[in-house]
Amino acid sequence: MKRLLGTDVATYGPPAFLFVFTVAYLIVAYGYSPASRAFPVIVAWSMIVLVTIDLISRTQTRAGRALTRWLIPTAATTAGHDNPLSRVEIIAVSWVAALVAAMALIGILYAIPLFVFASVRWRGQRSYAASLAIASITTLLVWLLFTRVLRIELYSGLLGSG
């Protein structure tokens, strides 16, 4: 396998894809009106920083190894071992993918309470009452922050009225 900076080139695939996707997202976001682009631009620039850190940490350079030790202290104990995806990692990514899909389909204000309720109830193993209370409070705070304080209209989803 071909190597770049001491690491297999294939290892750079996921973060490189995210980097290109995020740059495209940023370019599209700058086409929005100033009020509409505020949040997407902040998210895109934050993502570019995080993906760049990920790319650097994957290298076998001095900076990459130092960054990996700083971000993942246990990495030194697993160095040189093959670490396949675990069931826990797959489940965690699936939860986030489900949230993103729900946001795209039914909108942010409906997806948040569903996600918070489900994660608190089934992942956090809390009661239905506690899950409902936490989901309600979280949704109220998101609604207040975005629609009232920041005056940003929340995305209503592909199936929503917007």
pLDDT digits (tens, 9 = 90+) for 96-134: 899 989 998 998 899 999 999 999 999 889 999 999 999
Q: Is the pLDDT of residue 160 over 80?
A: no
Q: pTM of the full predicted structure?
A: 0.55
State the pLDDT at residue 117.
Answer: 96
Q: Is the pLDDT of residue 74 over 90?
A: no
State the pLDDT at residue 34.
Answer: 84
Length of the chain: 162
Q: Is the pLDDT of residue 141 over 70?
A: yes
Between 39 and 132, residue with greater pLDDT: 132
Task: Count Cβ atoms within 10 A of the Cβ of residue 143 and give its class: 0-12 exposed, 13-18 middle, 19 or more buried.
Answer: middle
Q: Is the pLDDT of residue 86 over 80?
A: no
Q: Is the pLDDT of residue 78 over 80?
A: no
When pLDDT is cut at 50, 70 and 90, the band that residue 65 belongs to is confident
Question: DSSP string covering 86-152, please?
Answer: PHHHHHHHHHHHHHHHHHHHH-HHHHHHHHHHHIIIIIS---HHHHHHHHHHHHHHHHIIIIIIS--
State the pLDDT at residue 84.
Answer: 63
Between 7 and 143, residue with greater pLDDT: 143
